[in-house]
Amino acid sequence: MTPLSGYLLVSALLFCIGLAGALTRRNAIMVLIGIELMLNAANLNFIAFWRFSENPEAMTGLTFALFSIAIAAAEAAVGLALIITIYRHFRTANVDKVEDMKG
Amino acid sequence: MKSWILQNLWLIPVLPLLAAGISALLKRPNRSLAAGLAIGSMGASFLLSCAALVATLGKHGAASRQVFNFDWFALGDTVVRLGWVLDPLTAAMVVMITFVGSLIFIFSVGYMSHDENFTRFFCFLSFFAAAMLGLIIANNLLLLFMCWELVGLASYLLIGFWFHKPSAAAAAKKAFITTRIGDVFFFLGIVWLYSETGTLLFYDGGRGCLEQDALAKMVAHTTIGGLAASSAIGLLLFCGAIGKSGQLPLHVWLPDAMEGPTPVSALIHAATMVAAGVFLVARVYPLMEMQQAGVSEPIPLTAVTWIGALTAIFGALVAVAQTDIKRILAYSTVSQLGYMMMGLGIGGVAVGMFHLLTHAFFKALLFLGSGSIIHGCHEEQDIRHMGGLKKFMPVTFVTYAIGMMALSGVPLVFSGFWSKDEILHSAWNYGPSKIPFFLGLAGAFLTAFYMTRQMCFVFAGKYRGGHDAAHDVHGHSHSHGNAHSHDPHESPAVMTWPLILLAACAVLLVIVGTPVWPWLPHYLEGHEAHFDFGALFNWDVIPLLVGSSIVVAVGIGIGWWFYGLLPAEKADEKDPLDQQFPEYFGWLRNKFYVDELYAATFVKWNARLGELSHALDRRVLDLLVSVVGWLTTGCALAAKLFDEFVVNKLFDAGCGGVRRGADTCSELQSGHIHQYLRSIGVALVLFVIILAVGCNK
């Protein structure tokens, strides 16, 4: 059986990829995809820690992951809708061009 | 049960006061309303006064006096009480004042018809009458004093009615200040009286200050110089009367007060204000006549007698040499007031007050007559510029002649004869000295003489005025248009009717005052009068009657011989007396230089004191004030500098710091999503590092 550190390494790698994507991409959709990757890295951590915990029968990590995924779906929907609105308004999805969000 | 008139006696002064108040508050001057209010209120007061007179009839002795007292205010245990008194003295005075006052008001409608301040005049007249009536009915010395001062104020306003004339303004000031000198002593007397008796009510059912207990206490109390308190207080109160009634040595204001309109002169110098002093002495007579142990005569009454006698002869002497028609009458009033004082001093209340009442009628008549003459001669007041007016002004001539004969004391049918004879009769029986009698007799002679002189100048001969208008130095506020001819003219009916009524009274008062039926003098003293025809032929009376008649006849005769036989032809002709006795005449014409003496002494000293105070004020007080001012300015300057350079700088620096900090912070919110994300990433890494380091410790 693969040890916990393997899962954690994959998860950290996935998080870093997501973070790099969110930070480097100019397109809002790509930023959103990076954020989803980070979220999934977190879900992977929940599952891994649950699986290797002392009481895996309790299904706690699974439940957490399920809720997290549901929320991520809702958040993606909201984010996409915002991006579409921003695109309609500014005629671009490039986040660097959109500077009107400051107070 | 108090009678209706006693309870409502206050209405007599209040009605004219209301009239004055209403006409003062009118938005725009309304001539007929103001005059109507004034005359109407006086008429109503006259009716009430008649009711008061009727209420006092048929009562004798102590029953003739009724009082109405009430609490004014309480101060701790002390209750100050006011009230009014209804006795023959009050009743006779209010009837006389309201009757003469109404006639003067009616006369004023004609006399002041050209004046632009007609409504103001009637407002002041009503105010004056109200104050005077309040003075008469007061049963409290304090209330009397208040009204006394209001009378003084009203006289100031009325004498200075034509205040744009400097002489009128000065005369008003002089009247006010001179009477104030007497009032200071009067007030001292009031305060002393209060401290002695604890009350200022005259009559209060045995507890008043003029009743037996208080008087006995005051006589027993001996003060400085061996004077009993009652004598000292009596003298102080008499000082007030000296000022108000123009007695020596405070008579100087009265002739100058002729600057006021002539109806004012009639009101103030005949019927009311000058009578107030005589009335005061009559009112406090019980105090005045208290005899202290070891002195044969009451001291205050002796002072009253001598001052009165000297004033009587002084006024008569000065009146001989005057040329202003109103000034002659003014000095005549001074002289007659002296008679009244003398009568009070030696004969009692009835003698003095009887002369006051008769004098009020014929002197008001003479003043109004002179007003009619002045009005008819186009504001000319100098008798040298008149003459021959008998032809032009018949009604004025006849009434004036009646007044003149009443004043001179022409026998039998004129009231002045009987009242003056009462005084001379009392003076003849005066124990300590016969000098007042001879002074009075000389005064009677001079009175007849100067009135004849005036009559001859004004009515006899031919008219000497009118040829040049330049001598019109007494120019009044209104000038007649050119439409008037230069000849004198008779006055309108509104002015002649009051003259006729007053002339009738000057004669008719005889009925109630002769020794045959001395109703008025006895009424004033609360006795019953009996009809006794034999009294006229009493050997006590006859020689005096005949003697004074002869004196009067001689006075008129000499006056006629000097002035009537050869009437002056030209206005600038020398007075016949001046030709005969130039050295004495100058003294008389210049009023014995009393005014000059006062100007050189009291007025000058006062002015010096004023200058000294002024210098002190300028040099010392102003310097102190300036120093304080400079100190304050210096402090303010220092505070200003501190404020500007310390407080403001610090505050500005604080504000700048806050603003810069806010600028820096606002740059953090750039709107770049990547920047935010980067911040979150860096923070995440930092947290991880901290956790890692923290857990491994």
Whether the per-residue pLDDT at B97 is higher than 50: the answer is yes
> Side chain identity at B196, as an amino acid letter?
E
Contacts of A95 in chain B (CB under 8 A): 672-674
Q: What is the ipTM of this complex?
A: 0.80
pLDDT in tens, B412-456: 778 888 888 888 888 888 877 888 888 888 888 888 888 888 888
- For residue B450, CA distances in Å to A17, B98, B405, B685 come to 141, 30, 12, 132
Whether the per-residue pLDDT at B106 is higher than 50: the answer is yes
Please say whether the beta carbons of B447 and B332 come within 8 A. yes
- pLDDT average, residue stretch A27-47: 91
Contacts of A96 in chain B (CB under 8 A): 672, 674
Residues 6+ positions from A36 with CB-CB distance below 8 Å: A18, A72, A76
In chain A, positions 50-69, which contact chain B (CB-CB < 8 Å)? none
Whether the per-residue pLDDT at B139 is higher than 70: the answer is yes
Higher-confidence residue: B480 or B364?
A: B364
CA dihedral B178, B179, B180, B181 (to 10 degrees): 60
Please say whether the beta carbons of B398 and B506 come within 8 A. no
CB spacing of B681 vs A19 below 8 angstroms: yes
Nearest to B187 by CA among B268, B243, B253: B243
The C-alpha of A70 sits at a distance from chain B's nearest C-alpha, in angstroms, of 23
Per-range mean pLDDT, top range of A29-38, B261-270, B343-352 = A29-38
A66-70, A93-97, B124-128: range with lowest mean pLDDT: A93-97
- Give the rounded percent of residues in chain B with a pLDDT score beyond 70: 92
- Give the rounded percent of residues in chain B with a pLDDT score beyond 90: 14
pLDDT in tens, B167-185: 888 888 888 888 888 899 9
pLDDT number for residue B481: 42
- pLDDT average, residue stretch B293-322: 85
Whether the per-residue pLDDT at B393 is higher than 80: the answer is yes
pLDDT in tens, B78-93: 888 888 888 888 888 8
Contacts of A102 in chain B (CB under 8 A): 669-671
pLDDT tier at B539 (50, 70, 90 boundaries)?
low
The pair of structure tokens assigned to B142 is 């304090």
The burial of B200, by beta-carbon neighbours within 10 Å (0-12 exposed, 13-18 middle, 19 or more buried), is given as buried
- The DSSP bridge partners found for residue B382 are B324
The pair of structure tokens assigned to B376 is 């008819």
pLDDT in tens, B563-592: 777 766 676 677 777 777 777 777 777 777
b/e code A7-31 from CB counts within 10 Å (16+ = b): bbeebeebbeebbebbeebeebeeb
Query: Distance of alpha carbon B31 from its chain centroid, rounded?
Result: 25
pLDDT number for residue B488: 76
Nearest to A96 among B669, B672, B681 (CB): B672
Please say whether the beta carbons of B488 and B376 come within 8 A. yes
- Give the rounded percent of residues in chain A with a pLDDT score beyond 90: 54
Give the whole-angstrom CA distance, residue A60 versus residue B357.
Answer: 129
In chain B, positions 662-691, which contact chain A (CB-CB < 8 Å)? 666, 669-674, 677-678, 681
A32-41, B128-137, B389-398: range with lowest mean pLDDT: B389-398
Residues 6+ positions from A88 with CB-CB distance below 8 Å: none
> Side chain identity at B55, as an amino acid letter?
A
B310-319, B378-387, B465-474: range with lowest mean pLDDT: B465-474
Instruction: Give the CB-side neighbour count of residue B250, counting CA atoms within 13 A.
Output: 22
Give the whole-angstrom CA distance, residue B440 versus residue B429.
Answer: 13
pLDDT number for residue B512: 74
Residue of A nearest to B676 (CA): A23
Give the whole-angstrom CA distance, residue B190 versus residue B550.
Answer: 45
Whether the per-residue pLDDT at B613 is higher than 70: the answer is yes
Q: What are phi and psi of B86, to 5 degrees?
A: -120, 105
Give the whole-angstrom CA distance, residue B447 versus residue B451.
Answer: 6
pLDDT number for residue A11: 94
Whether the per-residue pLDDT at B485 is higher than 70: the answer is no
Whether the per-residue pLDDT at B515 is higher than 90: the answer is no
pLDDT number for residue B559: 84
CB spacing of B669 vs A103 below 8 angstroms: yes
Q: Is A95 on the interface with B (CB under 8 A)?
A: yes
What are B14-20's contacts with CB under 8 Å, separation 24+?
B14/B130, B15/B41, B15/B42, B15/B44, B15/B45, B15/B48, B15/B130, B16/B41, B16/B42, B16/B45, B16/B126, B16/B127, B16/B129, B16/B130, B16/B133, B17/B126, B17/B127, B17/B130, B19/B126, B20/B123, B20/B124, B20/B126, B20/B127, B20/B130
What average pLDDT does the structure give for chain B?
83
Please state the pTM of the whole predicted model. 0.73
Instruction: Give the CB-side neighbour count of residue B673, counting CA atoms within 13 A.
Output: 20
CB spacing of A95 vs B671 below 8 angstroms: no
CB spacing of B673 vs A101 below 8 angstroms: yes
pLDDT number for residue B537: 64
Whether the per-residue pLDDT at B661 is higher than 50: the answer is yes
